[in-house]
Amino acid sequence: MGADRNCISRRDFLKQISAAAVALSLPRCADATGPPAAPEPGLGKEEDILTRSNGGAAMGFDTYQPGYVIPTPKEMSLSGQVVTLDSSWGIEDRAAHPGLANRYAEMLNLRRRKHRANLALVQDGGLKREEYQLEISEDAVTVCASSENGFLHALATIGQLRNGPVLPVGRIRDYPRLEMRGFHLMFESIHQIGAPEAIALISSAARLKLNTMLFEFGPRFPFERHAAIRSPSALTSSELRQVVEHARSLGITCIPLLQSLGHLNYVLRHDEYADIREEDEHRDQLCPTNEKSFRIFTELAEEVLSFFPDTRFMHIGADETRRLGVCPRCRRQAEESGTGSLYITHTNKVCSWLSNRGIIPILWDDILCAHPRILDELWDNAWIMYWDYWTTESPSQLVVARYNPGGGPGVVVYDERWQGEWKAELSDVTARTLAAFAQPVDLTKRLGREFSQVFSPYLGDQQPKFVRAFPYLEYYQAHGHRVIGAPAGASNTSEWLGLPDFPRYGHNIRAFAERCAEASGKGLITTAWYNFPPEALYFSLVATAQYAW
């Protein structure tokens, strides 16, 4: 792979911490007392950070080696000193969040006290929702936050900083740049994920400060009313409740995903559902003009929602509906008003049903992008999840052109000069991605007048060499919808050294997160589709945590 300008060596990382200890002065918590600790003379050398200690020496900790904190805190100043939280320490909860002090006490092996405690949890309404401030001195630790999630994020940072009872002296101020930071837990296709694996992944997500999990079950949901579609490997009701309750206990928002139109082979392959198939070859898409299709969806959705009683969102899928207008009745409507009308009529009906229950619908973006005339008809409060698994840089060499006025599927394209005069400028990751997934074209001609009329305001001013990365962020926002980015975490068919294509996933996640922040997107949920071992998901989980924060 080519060098990554944003990667630093461990030695450089330590130098940055040393410099921060001298140069950085962080704001103190609103309820903290005492003067700021003065930096020690001589800080700024790597060996000072590695060898200086105080309270740790008595317990055999004569060194403290700072490692990476993931995600990287916004502001961190470590003095090189350490403190040992021994049996004389106690914890005081001034935050009024039940159970938080117990979590701190359990991790740090401290007793709870009402007075004269060394570690205090302090409510500070002046901080952002998930922001926290952490001050560690030789005789006190103060944690400030305005919400339960903020205190949990601070505890996660302490968990990464500590060496047993030893903590580094210093200050941290930290907060996320994206409101929603999540991961897609795809039980349907990743067959090796059961309840234990899901709980382990969710626990790691929480420690890395992710706050959202998107649950997709397919036939592995414990359906009762439609038991015929349930897989032999389905979770039990007890297992599913355990998974969801575990996520909620860690402050994670749980969003269920149930496909509402396409990708429903696990239902439609059964003969008892033959009458709601759009066609009889692929058997994976509902007929949107059949009233029974909507009824079956709502019956399935009611079962799914019963396990998520307080959910604010439900994802209705609605992507890759390639069979629109195939059955005779749908064909007639498509001829009269276009295939997009079949899609938007059914999708809005689903959105309305959810909205009447106080639930915000989320749907994939690709069909809306392929039929831009229907976007203004989309249900007003629907959120759009925008997926793009190929863009690895910002600005981008490629554009995902889903709208093809001439008919046929959309394509991933880039200007043909990247094969010649500009080729030397390509990173290894982008060069491999273009070769595997994209078509070289004359970008000044290939997109065409109709495409340009709709999308050119969002493609940037560096064409044809570059286009704005993830240009549909602003496009969907301009049409009044909130947008969540969806990069790749386990998808498509490219490999890297015989493994999943981790370099492409990492660059795609980072580029998408940066653009979501730039465009004030609602957040980022990394998708995981392919049947990799669950352990293979952790790279993308960590990358999502790092770059979405």
Question: Is pLDDT at 81 greater than 90 in this prediction?
Answer: yes
Question: Is pLDDT at 98 greater than 70 in this prediction?
Answer: yes
Distance, in Å, from the CA atom of 288 to the CA atom of 324, rounded to the nearest integer, reads 8
The vertex-210 CA angle with 209 and 215, nearest 5°, equals: 150
Q: Region 181-189: what's the mean pLDDT?
A: 97
- Spatial neighbors of 544 by CB under 8 A, at least 6 apart, are 181, 182, 183, 210, 487, 489, 509, 513, 524, 526
- 141-169: b (≥16 Cβ within 10 Å) or e: bbbbbbbbbbbbbbbbbbeebbbebbbbb
As a whole number of Å, the end-to-end CA separation of the chain is 25
Beta bridge partners of 257: 216, 315
CATH topology of domain 10-174: Chitobiase; domain 2 (3.30.379)
Please say whether the beta carbons of 374 and 325 come within 8 A.
no
Per-residue pLDDT of 415-435, as tens digits, reads 999 999 999 999 999 999 999
Predicted local distance difference test score (pLDDT) of residue 86: 92
User: To 10 degrees, what angle do helices 538-548 and 195-207 make?
Assistant: 30
Please say whether the beta carbons of 140 and 34 come within 8 A.
yes
Please say whether the beta carbons of 448 and 405 come within 8 A.
yes
Of the ranges 30-39, 320-329, 394-403, which one carries the lowest mean pLDDT score? 30-39
User: To 10 degrees, what angle do helices 339-355 and 291-305 make?
Assistant: 40
CA distances from 133 to 37, 115, 146, 357 (A): 15, 21, 10, 38
pTM: 0.89
- Spatial neighbors of 341 by CB under 8 A, at least 6 apart, are 333, 334, 374
Q: Pairing relation of β-strands 383-387 and 360-364?
A: parallel
Predicted local distance difference test score (pLDDT) of residue 95: 82
Q: Region 42-69: what's the mean pLDDT?
A: 47
Cα dihedral value 107, 108, 109, 114, nearest 10: -110
The residue ranges of every structural domain in the chain are 10-174, 396-468
> pLDDT category, 233, cuts 50, 70, 90?
very high
Distance, in Å, from the CA atom of 75 to the CA atom of 525, rounded to the nearest integer, reads 25
Predicted local distance difference test score (pLDDT) of residue 384: 98
Helix (H) or strand (E) holding 486: strand 483-486
The per-residue pLDDT of the chain, averaged, comes to 89
Predicted local distance difference test score (pLDDT) of residue 439: 95
Helix (H) or strand (E) holding 173: strand 166-174
